[in-house]
Every structure is written in C-alpha cells, then in structure tokens.
Amino acid sequence: MKRILVTGGAGFLGSHLCDRLLDLGEDVLCIDNFFTGSKRNISHRFSHPHFELLRHDVTFPLYVEVDQIYNLACPASPVHYQHDPVQTTKTSVHGAINMLGLAKRLRAKILQASTSEVYGDPEMHPQREEYWGRVNPIGIRSCYDEGKRCAETLFFDYHRQLRLEIKVMRIFNTYGPRMHPNDGRVVSNFIVQALKGEDITIYGDGQQTRSFCYVDDLIEGMIRLMGTPPDFTGPVNVGNPGEFTMLELAERVLQLTASKSKLIFKPLPEDDPRQRKPDINLAKTKLGWEPKVSLEDGLKETIAYFEKTIANNSFGIRS
C-alpha cells in the first residue's frame, strides 16, 4: 500500500482521484483549503480506514510523510480563479514550490495537474505538446495560465537540477458529477440552466470550440501517467479529442434534459480561446490511454447528478 497525497482532494477532480486511489487499495491523505472544494465531495470516505483529510493551504509549507504526490490544488474555473487572481498565482507557484520541496525531501514521485490553458488562444490545432502556446501575460486569465506555466517550469527545473521524478499532465476541459453548480464553467452552467428552465447563456456567437473529457476517463489517464517509467516526464495532453461548438453543446444539453430553455447571447469574455482540441497521440503511445465515454453518456451522468443536487438544494445559494 502506498501513502499518497492528493492536494485539492476535496475538489471535483481531486475527489474522484481519492475515490479511485482508495479503491485501488492505497492510503490517501487529502489536503484542501476548501476554497472551491467541499467536504461533501469526500464525506462518503470519512469512515474509510485509509482516508485522511487535512485542511491546509498549499501556499504554506507542509511536512508529512508520503510516497507519491498528486498536485491538483488550484481553482480551475474562470469565475473562481479570477475571484482572487493574486491568490490563484500564489497557489500555482508557491504551491508548486512547497509540494516540490516536499517531494525533494521525501524523494517522492510528483504529478502536476497542468492545463490546456498553457497553450492560451492557440494557433496550432489540434494542440500538440511541442507547441509553446500563445498566452497573454497580463490579461484576466493570466493568473491561471501563467501560474500553471510557471509551475511547469518549476517541475522541470526540480527534475533537471535535483533529479526529481515528475509527471506533468495537461488536462483539457473535463466535466462530470461533483462539478460545482455555480463555478461558471460551460457544462455546469448549461445543465443547471436547462434543468431550472432558465435561459442558456451563450458567450459570443457560440462558434468557439472545446473538447470535453468525462471525469472517469481523465482519472484513468492520471493514474496511468503516475505509473509510467521514471524517464517519462510528460508534458502529456489528456483530454477527449471530440470537438464541439458551444452552440452544439447547448443543443445536446437541451435535448438530453428535454428542456424548453431558450438560448441567449452574452458578450464573449476577454481572451476566451477560439478553439481547443487535444492531440492525444502521446497519451495513446505512452499511457496506452484514450477516452472511452461519449459526450452523450457523460452528459447523462452529469445531468443525473445535477438533478439530485438541485432537488436536495445541497449546494445552497453559494455563488
């Protein structure tokens, strides 16, 4: 049994990762400051003998003894990461330094949850890992994009300078149960709006594209990446290459929820990428991984989750 630290473990992806690691028989230490995560996401594990939860902010040092580290702590939705942009950069950068310092002391393997946002508004389509990206360093998304880019730099410098075993995963838009209903991301927004019969908010003309990966597929890729030989560091794209415009996504959600909500158009946020789609050939080769869950099946699971959440009002009115 390995002792595994998951930072941001009470969040959307982190809680699914904790579940998966416990099911694999590992010992899990979940740390979170509950900025966007919630104890509700992991409360079903509280009585598990190999699960431990610690309230902690990764921008502060952490002294614990573990064998592996998954560093996921960071708000991920534009609404949340722009709420306190200085804290967002600190979380990515100071958080990476502290977790790398911890990994260095323990000689532990460490995985970074990076993002397709490191490619910015890309000129290369689909995006391959070799592409350096087109990121605005001073815009409203920069706290997240540049924070994550700097974290990647730190990971590679700890690897080169201190021979740390690192794994860098560039995650493309992922969705599924336990997304926060008020986080402003497109999948959660459209589903909640459709279920409540509210207008569906399309930003811009709705022709911008994204590729949506279901959470179970993503977690499988993450576990596989951690299991690769020491000479494989990534960065590696993990996402679903199926590409949809936001109008297409809205239509699918309306159809699957049998909702009568109407589409309304709102201004496109600043620096909103036009298109995004992963090239996953590296993941296929090195991880033997590709996504299995179709958008339709994944949306059905997510809709069922939000139906329950709304019925129980279990997220209250937090915005």
- Residues with catalytic annotation? 144
Single out the residue of 26, 32, 146, 216 in contact with ligand NAD (rule: CB under 6 A): 32
Q: Considering CB distances under 5 to 8 angstroms, the limit depending on partner class, which of ligand NAD, ligand UDP, none binds residue 74?
A: ligand NAD
CB-based closest residue to ligand UDP = 101
Closest by CA position to 51, among listed 28, 23, 17: 28
State yes or no: residue 278 binds ligand UDP (CB under 6 A). Answer: no
Residue 227 CA to residue 289 CA, distance in Å, equals: 12
State yes or no: residue 82 binds ligand NAD (CB under 6 A). Answer: no
Structure tokens at 241: 């290459």
Q: Considering CB distances under 5 to 8 angstroms, the limit depending on partner class, which of ligand NAD, ligand UDP, none binds residue 10?
A: ligand NAD
Query: What b/e sequence results for 219-255 when a residue is b if at least 16 CB atoms lie within 10 Å of its CB, and e otherwise?
Result: bbbbbbbbebeeeebbbbbbbbbebbbbbebbbebbe
Single out the residue of 171, 238, 246, 282 in contact with ligand NAD (rule: CB under 6 A): 171
Structure tokens at 76: 């991920």
Cβ–Cβ < 8 Å for 171, 144 = no
Single out the residue of 85, 101, 139, 241 in contact with ligand UDP (rule: CB under 6 A): 101
Q: Considering CB distances under 5 to 8 angstroms, the limit depending on partner class, which of ligand NAD, ligand UDP, none binds residue 202?
A: ligand UDP
Contact positions with ligand NAD (CB under 6 A) in 34-73: 34-37, 57-59, 72-73
Closest CB to ligand UDP among 31 and 283?
31
Query: What b/e sequence results for 161-176 when a residue is b if at least 16 CB atoms lie within 10 Å of its CB, and e otherwise?
Result: eeebbbbbbbbbbbbb
Cβ 180 to ligand UDP, closest distance in Å? 12
State yes or no: residue 295 binds ligand NAD (CB under 6 A). Answer: no
- Residue 261, Cβ neighbours under 10 Å: how many? 19
269: exposed, middle or buried (Cβ count in 10 Å: 0-12, 13-18, 19+): middle
Cβ 25 to ligand UDP, closest distance in Å? 25
Single out the residue of 85, 139, 241, 269 in contact with ligand UDP (rule: CB under 6 A): 269
β-pairing verdict for 209-211 and 243-245: antiparallel
Q: Considering CB distances under 5 to 8 angstroms, the limit depending on partner class, which of ligand UDP, ligand NAD, none binds residue 57?
A: ligand NAD
Closest CB to ligand UDP among 78 and 235?
78
Q: Considering CB distances under 5 to 8 angstroms, the limit depending on partner class, which of ligand NAD, ligand UDP, none binds residue 91?
A: ligand NAD
Largest separation between any pair of C-alpha atoms in the chain: 58
Closest CB to ligand NAD among 112 and 261?
112
State yes or no: residue 192 binds ligand UDP (CB under 6 A). Answer: no
Q: Considering CB distances under 5 to 8 angstroms, the limit depending on partner class, which of ligand NAD, ligand UDP, none binds residue 36?
A: ligand NAD
Give strand pairing partners of 7: 31, 71
Closest CB to ligand NAD among 4 and 259?
4
Structure tokens at 288: 């033997």
Contact positions with ligand NAD (CB under 6 A) in 103-122: 113, 115
Q: Enumerate binding residues for ligand NAD (CB under 6 A).
A: 7-8, 10-14, 32-37, 57-59, 72-76, 80, 91, 95, 113, 115, 171, 173-174
Q: Enumerate binding residues for ligand UDP (CB under 6 A).
A: 61-63, 77-78, 97-98, 101-102, 104-105, 173, 184-186, 189, 201-203, 208, 210, 246, 268-269, 272
